[in-house]
Structure 1
C-alpha cells in the first residue's frame, strides 16, 4: 500500500504533536501561528479519521488518552529525526565543525582548561562549546556531543561512561589557617557553609552530604548562598567559608593549592559523567576523535599536575 495512504494529514499531525507536547490547544496555536480553533479542528479531523479520541477534554486542560500518548511519542520522535536531519544537511560552516554541550560548571572547571590540547592535536576541527545547564534534546540537530551527569539513562541519545566522582569539603588555604581545625564532619556545622541553588535532583548538597555521616545540617547556616556552583567555588577561593568540592571539577584548583580539602571524609556519587551521542544521526568523524580524546584525558592527572611536572 502507498505509504502516504497510511499516514494522517501532515497539517493535522503537526497540530496534534504541538498540542500533545505543550498540553494545550492555545499554546500549540501560539507556537504554530494559527488560531486555537484551527488547532482544535485539525485534531478533531484526526480523531474522526482514527475513530477514537486522542485527548480527554477536561475543564481548562486536556490530557492524552492511552492511544494519544502512543501517537505523541511516535510523532515527537519522527519530528526530532526530521529536524536533526534538516539541521545536519543545512548547517552553515565547514563540515568539520563540532558542537559540544556541557554544564556551566563542567565547562568552566574541567573542559575549557583542557580543550586546547584537543585543538592542538586536531587544528582542522572547529569547536563550538554550548554551555548551559538545561541541555536541548541531542536529536534536535543542534549538538554533536553532550556531556551530562546522571544515571546514563537518557531517551534522546546513547551514553558512554566518562568517569564517576566524589564530593568532599574544600576551602581556601587562608581560611584553613585562620579557623579552628576540622576533624570530623560534625565540626563543619560550626562553620559558614557555602551553598548554591540547583534544580537537579542528582546534585548533592550539604544536607545530603552531612546525612551520609549521620550529621544533621543546621536549620540556619552561616555562609554564602549562590545561584551557581561556579560562584560557590569562587566564594570558597575568596575565603568566604567551606564549599562542597566535586573532585573532577576542582582537582586543578587543589593541585594548584588554591583550594584545600578540609577533611578526608568524602561521599561517592551514585551517578557519573557520560558522553552522549545522537542515536538516529550519523556521527561525524570529528565526534569520534573528540570522544577518543575525552576518554584518554579522563584518565590523565589534573592539568595543573601535568604542568608542574614539565616546569
Structure 2
C-alpha cells in the first residue's frame, strides 16, 4: 500500500532538497535545476510545512540540512535514482519489459552471448541489458535484476539456477613447454599466471595432483581474456576454462602444460534476489536459460 499523500513530497521538492544537500547553497541548486533561488526556497518551505519539521539550518554562508534531514535525503536520493532508472528502462523498451543482467566477462562473451540471439528471437518483447561485474555483489546496492555469479552457494538472500561447472586446464604457449614434461612438478619452476577472483587456483590444482604447495607467486590478472592473451604470447602458464581455450588448443596457439584431467574450481549460477517479485522478463529469461542448460 502506498503511503498517504501527506507523507509524499513532490518530486520538485525532493530534487531541490537533494541538490541543496549536495551543493550546499540555494544558488548552486537553482543553477543546476534551471530555477530561481526563490523557487528553490519555496520548494523547501513547502516540504517543511507538509512534513511539519525543519529541514534546513540556515546561515549566511551555506545552507545545511538538519541531522534528521540528512538521513531523510539519503533515502530520497536513492528513490530518485531508482525512479530515473525505471524511466530509462521504460524508454528503452516501451512495448515490453527489460532485464538488467550482470555478467562475468569471459563467460558472458564466450558462453552466453552466442546464445542470446535465440532468446531475442523467442522473446522480442524483452530487452536484455548487459553489464559486467567481476565479483558477486549485494542486489540492494546495484540496479540489476539478476546476475551470473561464480563460486558456490554462499550468497544469502538469492535464488539459484545452476548453469555449468567451470573446469580448468593448465596451458601455455608451445615454446614454453619443456621437452621433459611428464611430471607436473616442472610447473613449480615455471612462471605461473593468476586471476584475482581465483587466488588459490594453483594451490587447489596442485592438491588434486597430490602435491601440497603454498605461496605461489606470479603475474596477476583481473580477467581471463587478458590472462589468455598473455599465455598465448608466452608470458607464463595459466589455468584457463575449457570453454575458453578449445579453439586455441585446436589451432596450436596453446598446448597442455600437463596432460591430466581438468579440475573444477566452482560453478556458474544465475542468481536473483529473493526479496523481489520475479518479473516477467526475468521469468522468461530463466525458463529459456534452463532450456539452454539442458542442451549444453
Give the TM-score normalised by structure 1.
0.57
Shift of 1:291: 1.2
Equivalent in the alignment of 1:232 = 227
Equivalent in the alignment of 1:105 = 106
Shift of 1:230: 1.0
Q: Mapping of 1:37-76 within 5 angstroms?
A: 68-69=70-71, 71=72, 74-76=75-77
**Unmatched 5+ residue regions in structure 1?**
56-61, 302-311
Shift of 1:72: 5.2
Contact 1:172/1:236 (8 A) holds in 2? yes
Query: Does the C-alpha gap of structure 1 residues 50 and 272 become closer, same or farther in structure 2, counting only changes over 3 Å?
Result: farther
Q: Mapping of 1:10-25 within 5 angstroms?
A: 10-15=11-16, 24-25=22-23
Equivalent in the alignment of 1:273 = 269
Asked whether 1:82 is paired with 2:83, we answer yes
Measure, in 2, the Cα distance between the counterparts of 1:54 and 1:188. 66
1:40-59: CA deviation from partner (whole Å, max 9, x where unpaired): 9799867896658899xxxx
1:173-199: CA deviation from partner (whole Å, max 9, x where unpaired): 735754652745x65342122346x5x
Contact 1:102/1:146 (8 A) holds in 2? yes
Measure, in 2, the Cα distance between the counterparts of 1:179 and 1:31. 73
Contact 1:152/1:161 (8 A) holds in 2? no
User: Which stretch of the first structure deviates more once superposed, 111-120 or 122-131?
Assistant: 122-131
Query: Larger radius of gyration, structure 1 or 2?
Result: 2
Question: What is the Cα-based RMSD across aligned positions, in Å?
Answer: 5.4
Query: Does the C-alpha gap of structure 1 residues 134 and 194 become closer, same or farther in structure 2, counting only changes over 3 Å?
Result: closer
Asked whether 1:204 is paired with 2:185, we answer no
Measure, in 2, the Cα distance between the counterparts of 1:226 and 1:76. 36
Query: Does the C-alpha gap of structure 1 residues 272 and 152 become closer, same or farther in structure 2, counting only changes over 3 Å?
Result: farther
Asked whether 1:217 is paired with 2:216, we answer yes
1:139-190: CA deviation from partner (whole Å, max 9, x where unpaired): 9998665434475457xxx543334755645214735754652745x65342
**Unmatched 5+ residue regions in structure 2?**
58-63, 205-211
Asked whether 1:95 is paired with 2:96, we answer yes
Q: What is the aligned counterpart of 1:253 among 223, 242, 245?
A: 245
Measure, in 1, the Cα distance between the counterparts of 2:174 and 2:18. 57
